[in-house]
Amino acid sequence: MALASGCGDTGEACEETVTCESPGGYCAGECVPVPVDRSNVDGAPVLLWEGSIDEEPPACPPDVGEAGVMFLYKDVDPVPDCPPCACSQPACVLPAGVTASALYLCQDGAPETRTPLEVPVDWDGACVGTDPIPPEQVGSVAVPPATAVACEPVEAVVPRSGGLGSPWKRHAKVCTGPSNAQACGLTSGKLCFPMFQKRATPAFKMCVWAKATEEVDCPDEYPHKHPWYASHDDGLCSPCTCTPTEPSVCEALVSAYADTACDREIASVQVADEGGCADPSAGVSLGSVRAEWVTNAPGGCEPSGGEPVRNREEVEPKTLCCIEEVTE
């Protein structure tokens, strides 16, 4: 309170008292209201741009800047991007080498009675030689089975539709920045924001954040509710499976040799899904092995799955209360 002459330079004194406006400053930007009831909202103003996902958001005003920008979304495509299912090719795999046994008929015995002759991974059957295994260790030669490798599910990286675009239909940009509580007058109930340059309208709406995520009553100063979301889940697709349509037939002939160059054969065994055993003549060493296919007929299979079983859902809701009307 002050004498009337205290509020202006009238040059005359009087006994009347008046309420003087608190000293403030100058707002080159905009003076925007501060919500009286801030129980449901944050009192700090923000700028909100909204548009189609195909639209490029405008830049925030220079004195607000891009540092505190948040992007929000809504209207997600509910159908998840399920990758198309495929199956690997079944294959026939040659036996993984042979094992010499000091015992006849490949009988079970102590580990020291068995000496393996190993072959490379993914062996194609070509001759493989090694330091000869002496005759006293070659009473019999065991050959493991030829293996039928089943087909396995293979998921493609690219979605079934072939598209890699956003699943959202709309997006929003929220610009935040400093405000000035004095530039509009300390008792005006307003803040200066942006402080130095007016926002581009109607591109940006003036808003405040709601404290609640969904159910919220916006204050009178910012009456229009704008619900958005920060993310979405991916929905759910049925797993990929492979059903055999015809069996694999894998039969191989494996031959063992006394020398290291596959010249002097001492035994040969034809194997399929079960292994075999050969008893070479007494007194021979084992120095090399090779194999060839008798029947190399991998089967076939049919892929299934990769279908949507649960839709995408919007998650992490965010709500703003704004001054402008919602425009669709």
Q: Look up the CATH number of the domain holding residue 125.
A: 2.60.20
In a domain, 239, yes or no: no
Give the number of other Cβ atoms within 10 Å of residue 149's Cβ.
14
Same domain for 74 and 174 = yes
Same domain for 71 and 105 = no
Q: How far apart are CA 107 and CA 42, in angstroms?
A: 83
In a domain, 102, yes or no: yes
Q: How confident is the model at residue 253 (pLDDT cuts 50, 70, 90)?
A: very high
Same domain for 193 and 103 = no
Residue 98 has pLDDT above 80, yes or no: yes
Assign 136 to helix, strand or coil: helix
Give the number of other Cβ atoms within 10 Å of residue 311's Cβ.
14
Same domain for 178 and 74 = yes
In a domain, 266, yes or no: yes
Which two tokens mark 162?
């072939």
Mean pLDDT across 185-206: 86
Q: How far apart are CA 23 and CA 210, in angstroms?
A: 31
Residue type, position 189, single letter: G
Contact 129, 287 (CB under 8 A): yes
Q: How far apart are CA 38 and CA 48, in angstroms?
A: 19
Place of tokens 């669709």: 328
Same domain for 223 and 193 = yes
In a domain, 240, yes or no: no
Mean pLDDT across 166-194: 91
Same domain for 225 and 285 = no
**Mean pLDDT, all residues of the chain:** 87
Cα-Cα end-to-end distance for the chain:
50
Number of domains in the chain: 2
Same domain for 223 and 113 = no
Better-scored residue on pLDDT, 181 or 126: 126
Structural domain including 223 reads 25-81+160-231+309-322
In a domain, 3, yes or no: no
Of the candidates 302, 292, 257, 236, the one whose C-alpha atom is nearest the C-alpha of residue 117 is 257
Residue 318 has pLDDT above 60, yes or no: yes
In a domain, 151, yes or no: no
Which two tokens mark 62?
């220079």
pTM for this predicted structure: 0.62
Same domain for 33 and 76 = yes
Which two tokens mark 110?
């102590």
Mean pLDDT across 299-326: 90
Q: How far apart are CA 60 and CA 193, in angstroms?
A: 12
Query: Which of 146-150, 201-205, 299-303 has the lowest average pLDDT?
Result: 201-205
